[in-house]
Amino acid sequence: MNTDKKLLRTLTKGDILLAAVLILVSLVWFASSFASDEESLTLKIYLDGTESVSVSLASLSEEKHYTVGGCIICADSEGVCFEKSDCPDGLCIKRGRMTRAGDAMACVPERVVVRLYGSDDFDTLAY
Amino acid sequence: MKNKKRILKIVSLLLTCAVVLSAALIIRDRKKDFNSAEKSTVAMNTIMTQKIYSEVPGSQITDIITIVNVLEKMISFKDIDSQLSILNREGTLDNGAIADVLRVCTEISEKSGGVFDVTVGELSELWGIGTENENIPEAEEISSLLSECGYEKISINGSTVTFDGDFSVDLGAVGKGMACDYIMNYLMSSEGVNGGVVSVGGSIVVYGQRNKAGDKWRVAVRHPRNEGELLGVISLSEGFVSTSGDYERYFEENGKRYHHILDAESGYPCESGLISVTVVCDSGILSDALSTACFILGREKGEKLLSEYGAAGIFVDKDMNITTVGDIDFEY
């Protein structure tokens, strides 16, 4: 106990400041590595099982249109939707907009799948 | 001397920080410690997503796509060259896989009092729900087709199936679950696979470990009314999950929703008061067939049917009341 007190007394203000800075930097780095996982959504578009587009939604400063197969897919920083399709039923367009990590939608006749990846709190979703 | 002590203190501080950071990183990375690969594609007329954890995950993903495509070729209702189409056309077929799945289907038809029946293929075609031909058929057309149908007109002798009547079987209610069984068998027999989760539309198979910590798999169930929202998440170690709902394929006319799950007794989309049923059990075909059968039967009869098979389930009614049945870990 006395030894601990002695040791504490030998610490200068500079030592304490250095320790505080090191711990703070570690915590910020640790927290930011989690935060980057949680916030970023990656859009992937597949044509017949082959990845055609992979883009971070955060990197989209304005609406962007991707033509994949017979479909036009519209994405912005927050979500994605099918805008046009050559398919006969148009079910993909009726599906509307998708914003959640782990969610997916498809234009079955055109064999195009659109999926959002991120740090969803589940392994898969029953569609 | 004073400088030495100071250096020692700084080194101690740095070491402490390094230990704290290492511990934090180990905790963070415990959940990501297997190699994994993911892919989404269209199969069996729906979305198939795969996440496989293994030493070389890419190869299994390709194999699984091939397995599902081969199965689809065999049981497709639309493909005129499929084994199922040959059976529908000729009324007899020698095919062990189709005989096995029809055994399960006819058993569930019997236990459900005939409301679940895969012989209503032509009736589903007539309604055309989820296609560009969706419509409300004339009552006479429905009753005429219904008079031809009936699971009891299917005879199965070993691997030979014979129809006693002019009807068509549509395996849409069990095909995706069947695919999940095939995928499970493949994953179990593949070397170097730690675990995997594959969804084929509303049917899901989870196998093995998702991480070294041994955490359970988490399967999200879609909210049946609010697009983009979740109803809840099921945690399970291994097995099959299937969901049937009135939101998958439907159209509305005069404010009424006409969905794709037909009651084989009436010939119309069933009105059991349920809008979503999820079943968890140890067989893909069963989970798929039971979710459809329970959806048609309603909550009380559905619960009874699930207990006969030792299966668990989640029932959601039109007032959004959620009931869980059996041994299921469901957060909502």
* pLDDT tens digits for range A28-70: 766 665 554 556 899 999 999 899 999 999 999 999 999 999 9
In-domain check, residue B4: no
pLDDT of res. A2: 56
In-domain check, residue B26: no
In-domain check, residue B2: no
- Structural domains counted in chain B: 2
Residues B121, B220, single domain; the answer is no
The residue from B140, B171, B202 where one domain ends is B171
Higher pLDDT, B249 or A117: A117
pLDDT of res. B182: 98
pLDDT band at B32 (very low <50, low <70, confident <90, very high): low
In-domain check, residue B27: no
pLDDT of res. B86: 97
Is B242's pLDDT higher than 90? yes
Å from B243 to nearest chain A CA? Answer: 7
pLDDT of res. B132: 79
Q: Report CB contact under 8 Å: A18, B221.
A: no
Residues B135, B158, single domain; the answer is yes
Which residues of chain B make contact with A123, given a CB cutoff of 8 A?
Answer: 51, 197, 206, 210, 217-219
Beta bridge partners of B38: B51
Residues B213, B323, single domain; the answer is yes
The residue from B116, B140, B171 where one domain ends is B171
Say whether the ipTM exceeds 0.85: no
Cβ atoms of B104 and B285 closer than 8 Å:
yes
The residue from B171, B201, B217 where one domain ends is B171
Residues B202, B316, single domain; the answer is yes
Å from B230 to nearest chain A CA? Answer: 9
Of all residues in chain A, the one with the smallest CA distance to B3 is A10
Q: Is B44 left (phi over 0), alpha (psi -120 to 50) or beta?
A: left
Residues B275, B264, single domain; the answer is yes
Please tell me the least confidently modeled range out of A6-20, A105-119, B308-322: A6-20
Residues B281, B216, single domain; the answer is yes
3-state secondary structure B62-115: HHHHHHHHHHHHHHCCCCCCCHHHHHHHHCEEECHHHHHHHHHHHHHHHHCCCC
Residues B64, B141, single domain; the answer is no
pLDDT of res. B121: 85
pLDDT band at B70 (very low <50, low <70, confident <90, very high): very high
Residues B155, B183, single domain; the answer is no
Percent of chain B beyond pLDDT 70?
Answer: 92
Residues B222, B248, single domain; the answer is yes
The CATH number given to A41-117 is: 2.60.320.10
In-domain check, residue B88: yes
pLDDT of res. A1: 52
pLDDT of res. B88: 96
Residues B260, B312, single domain; the answer is yes
pLDDT of res. B66: 96
CATH of the domain at B58: 3.10.520.10
Residues spanned by the domain of B69: 32-75+174-331
CATH of the domain at B111: 1.10.3980.10
Å from B46 to nearest chain A CA? Answer: 6
Cβ atoms of B82 and B73 closer than 8 Å:
yes
Residues B231, B154, single domain; the answer is no
Residues B38, B124, single domain; the answer is no
